[in-house]
Structure 1
Amino acid sequence: MELLEDAQLNKHVLSTGCEGIDLLLQGGLRMGQLTELVGASSSGKTQVCLLATSNVAKKHMDGVVYLDTGNSFSPQRVIDFIRQNPDPAIDQAKHRILQKVMNRILCHSVFDIFTMFDVLHQLEVNLRSQKGDCQVRLLIVDSISSLVTPILGGGGSQGDKSHCGWRGRYL
């Protein structure tokens, strides 16, 4: 109970950049917790991930690691999201600010679960030895189902969602 009160008081949340989604998530993405987005193909899950990526990199000035399993990461879309909410500082030094924000985002293409485990292990090693001000605040896996479905089996493009959710919590 004490941890919950601490989290609520200290607002250990990261805004997705969308007020409606943040409201549904009671403030945003909780740091240290898994948040799984589930929906039909083309329902906007990747767009939410890209929006959250741009928001954390810009507003929190922290790092984001984006594990892309389907070649869906779009640097241009991230830039579009950043430009969507004009900031006087960005208007004055657009290119320099955009470059700093984009440098906070590290995207890895991963096409199987074993590569993902390797990337996560390397990330852990890097974080343990990390020095400097920029820290990774957000880890996105877009999409975990495409990695675990070949192992667990599954009929559709979404695979067995209950198994994917369980495996996602394990990761």
Structure 2
Amino acid sequence: MPNVPLKQWSLMLLVGIMIVLFLSQLPAIERGLQQRRQAVNVFQPNKATLLTDDNLVDSLSMLPLQEQLIKVGWDHAILTVDLQAAVPDDVWGDIGELIVFSYGEVHNVKQVLIRVFSDKDKNQNRSLLIAVESRKLEWTDKELSVLTPSSFSEASELMDRIRLLITPKGKRWIANFAN
């Protein structure tokens, strides 16, 4: 009967070796669990390539605009944006940002209409300062590829590509900041 203790010892040795091998795998198992436990974004920003009614607000809210958005609209490939003005230089940058976004980042905008309003006065009325219209057909692909928001200013040659209307009140507003 000397075989019985040998079988028990060999079984215990085999179980011991399996336990040691299992314990050596614990760090790998822990790394796998840590990757699963990492925070998962519930809301991930979706980079839209086509502008729609459903993603209009989300797409425009991601733009780094300096001026406050008052109203946005989307109708038959025409994007309309109303801004509340504070500083003229910021307005020109925002106009550039909106045009770059409309023609460079999304591919279904054919026309951009931007209106810039003053703050509300005592009677809760806003005054139109600047109106801008731009059409995608007036821009070449080469011009759109090198276009940056910072390249827009009141004196920029790019302003020839857009139709710009500055109201008399808008001219006074710009002159006040120039002084």
- The TM-score with structure 1 as length reference comes to 0.31
Higher share in helix:
1
Structure with greater contact order relative to length (CA < 8 Å, sep ≥ 6) = 1
